[in-house]
Structure 1
């Protein structure tokens, strides 16, 4: 895991985790004042409408399904299972309903998370609701028709050595939750996106909330917190789409413009361009051209000296160095330029592409794989009397970049 990947993961996970932990601590520590019952019951619906409208407007079907599922869990636990469980009649239905809900909710979360958003919004939504609704309907049908058999299956502790009685969930439900959290957590770490993180934290929150079924505030207030986390995930992901370049993963032009407005009085800006990129695209194709841009971006992301790389457009990139002069930036730019020049990109056609990593390692050797490399040219300028604002500094760096290309490319040139 790279340092940049770790920073992205922390940035995505930290706010919702802190929000969930804060509400959980407030509930467990009884720090909340006494609230009117009507207000407590209506807060989940208000946050649910907020999260649902945001998910619908931004076309996030998976998040919208999560919102509906969280509200169904709230409705079922507060107004069905809890009232039945509080009656004096000895009945299997409350325990069976709780076991079914705690077993199926993690599974639905897992399937929904891996179900790609490929269709029209309404078609995708109706298809998911039909599938998940049918599964829930069959489960309820079996529970009502064969209550004793379902109770033996769902409520029995089959392997006592692998069960934690203090958690408050049947064994099958507990392991359903743990396994689904583990699978989703693996993909959150591998591909950290706000939507994945929001769904994973929401499922973990449901797993904490349901054993607190008889707490006065736990279910409604924590439901509202989880719905708020889903709403934040939608906004966060939309922000990332607007400010981050999808191909390279670097911040895009809009993010660069925002950063330029907050620079101090001392800074340097470097403009970078991939040499002969059009010719490379025409020779090797756009797929390999995209791979080149990703490789260049990955190396530019590692630039030291406090620099931060942005995709300016096409094959052009910008690196901003706050608090640095142009001369101070040159060693860091040279290090990146040399790393890109030394990087070899393998060229494979589909017929020769290995089917797995082991086969690829077996084939690799002298003369067995064509590789290409690219170079970049850089121009760097600093804020000065002649270049008093970021736009004039970028223009000067662009002129220095042109001078680097005129001088033979694959070099760093300082602005005059």
Structure 2
């Protein structure tokens, strides 16, 4: 499971990280040719329109708010930090405003990320804007009422040993950014998703682009890249919702249909069914039934022989073996069946369920708690003259599965033409 999570994390994080690193390399190496100023500055707005359109289409209010945060930091850098740097010391109000912005943005981004999307998109967006706008408004009021205290908190270097002037923001703002990266990083590791990867890379990108204040195109290019990363996250998550089963994490029926259209002339298909699953559900409840499906799916994901598992529906799964004959698949399917048969699932009374995972593992090691095991039956068929297309092969594999059920279950049967 750990290896699977690391793999998912790598595939989720690498695309947005590659875009961010590409932008960083472009800026550092001055790789872009001279471009019209208006064209470069239009990039963030065009990318924001694209991201907002996708977010509205798919009901992603969290992404909409994050787009607003990226634009706020970009505009704050262009219209507050850059003029302050050109003019030198003077009125502290712009510096306080920018410090408040960079201090609040990571905190609002984290709160927005963990705020689930439960209501109608207009109500959800309105509540978020009201809550976060209130936070910003309170900050502005405090700055105006207590400017000396605000300056002492926001602009003072409290701990010189860990201050990095090159970051381009006050120390408390850098702490806020670091805390936001840690929290979203933990969420990304625990549940690798394009959304969390985009949030983490987006926060990192906003922190990176601020020191590039006087570069010809660093600010608009960085903001554009972050907004494109957010847009890609919406597309990726929508794709996963359509093609991946939420319960088991396996590709779903739609993904299977897509794969069946791209098979060659030689392939085998196995149909898999959890034995006595309805009785198991009636006896132990649907929660444990869902756990069984996840356990079975985690084993099916490891099938050898070049096979790829899909959730067909209910307790049924499909395994596609490109370039294989049915008999060639039997050893891999038998190995899979035996691994599931030997896996013990612990049943605990909900009232006595340990809160700590270590305690749960200790109890399991002491033999406490009832355990159950499940078995699967499998039928496999191959493409031949009598079964010239995937639909016919699936029907033949279903017939072989029926024979496996009739023959006593917990076995693999091949179709006999």
Report if TM-score (shorter chain) is over 0.5.
yes
Aligned to 2:60: 60
Aligned to 1:76: 76
CA gap of 1:86–1:165, structure 2 versus 1, over 3 A, is: closer
Distance in 2 separating the partners of 1:357 and 1:204: 32
The alignment partner of 2:350 has SS state of coil
Distance in 2 separating the partners of 1:363 and 1:283: 23
CA gap of 1:300–1:93, structure 2 versus 1, over 3 A, is: same
Superposed displacement of residue 302, structure 1: 1.3
CA gap of 1:365–1:5, structure 2 versus 1, over 3 A, is: closer
Q: Deviations over 1:164-195 (max 9, x none)?
A: 23333322222221121012111111101111
Superposed displacement of residue 358, structure 1: 4.2
Aligned to 2:387: 387
Q: Deviations over 1:94-125 (max 9, x none)?
A: 33233222221111111111111122221211
Superposed displacement of residue 349, structure 1: 2.8
The alignment partner of 2:346 has SS state of strand
How big is the alpha-carbon RMSD for the aligned residues of Structure 1 and Structure 2? 1.8
Q: How does 1:179-198 map to 2 (within 5 A)?
A: 179-198=179-198
Q: How does 1:114-193 map to 2 (within 5 A)?
A: 114-193=114-193
Superposed displacement of residue 226, structure 1: 0.8
Superposed displacement of residue 147, structure 1: 2.9
Aligned to 2:240: 240
Aligned to 1:207: 207
1:103 and 2:109 equivalent? no
Distance in 1 separating the partners of 2:163 and 2:170: 8
**Is there any run of 5+ residues in structure 1 with no aligned partner, and where?**
none
Aligned to 1:263: 263
Superposed displacement of residue 410, structure 1: 0.3
Distance in 2 separating the partners of 1:184 and 1:88: 35
Q: How does 1:222-233 map to 2 (within 5 A)?
A: 222-233=222-233
Question: Which stretch shifts more, 206-215 or 360-369?
Answer: 360-369
Distance in 2 separating the partners of 1:404 and 1:21: 53
Contact 2:80 2:98 in 1 (8 A): no
Distance in 1 separating the partners of 2:315 and 2:360: 30
Superposed displacement of residue 362, structure 1: 5.0
1:378 and 2:378 equivalent? yes
TM normalised by structure 1 equals 0.95
TM normalised by structure 2 equals 0.95
Distance in 1 separating the partners of 2:358 and 2:87: 62
Contact 2:269 2:320 in 1 (8 A): yes
Superposed displacement of residue 245, structure 1: 0.4
Distance in 2 separating the partners of 1:361 and 1:10: 28
Contact 2:272 2:377 in 1 (8 A): yes
Q: Deviations over 1:283-334 (max 9, x none)?
A: 2222211111111111111111211110001110001111222112111111
Aligned to 1:303: 303
The alignment partner of 1:226 has SS state of helix
Aligned to 1:354: 354
Distance in 2 separating the partners of 1:82 and 1:141: 24
Distance in 2 separating the partners of 1:48 and 1:364: 51
CA gap of 1:365–1:82, structure 2 versus 1, over 3 A, is: closer
Superposed displacement of residue 221, structure 1: 1.7
Contact 1:387 1:393 in 2 (8 A): yes
Question: Which stretch shifts more, 148-157 or 183-192?
Answer: 148-157
Distance in 2 separating the partners of 1:89 and 1:182: 33
**Is there any run of 5+ residues in structure 2 with no aligned partner, and where?**
none
Distance in 1 separating the partners of 2:46 and 2:184: 28
Q: Deviations over 1:117-145 (max 9, x none)?
A: 12222121111111111111122222233
Distance in 2 separating the partners of 1:187 and 1:378: 37
Aligned to 1:36: 36
Aligned to 1:331: 331
Contact 1:81 1:97 in 2 (8 A): no
Contact 1:82 1:94 in 2 (8 A): no
Contact 2:80 2:95 in 1 (8 A): no
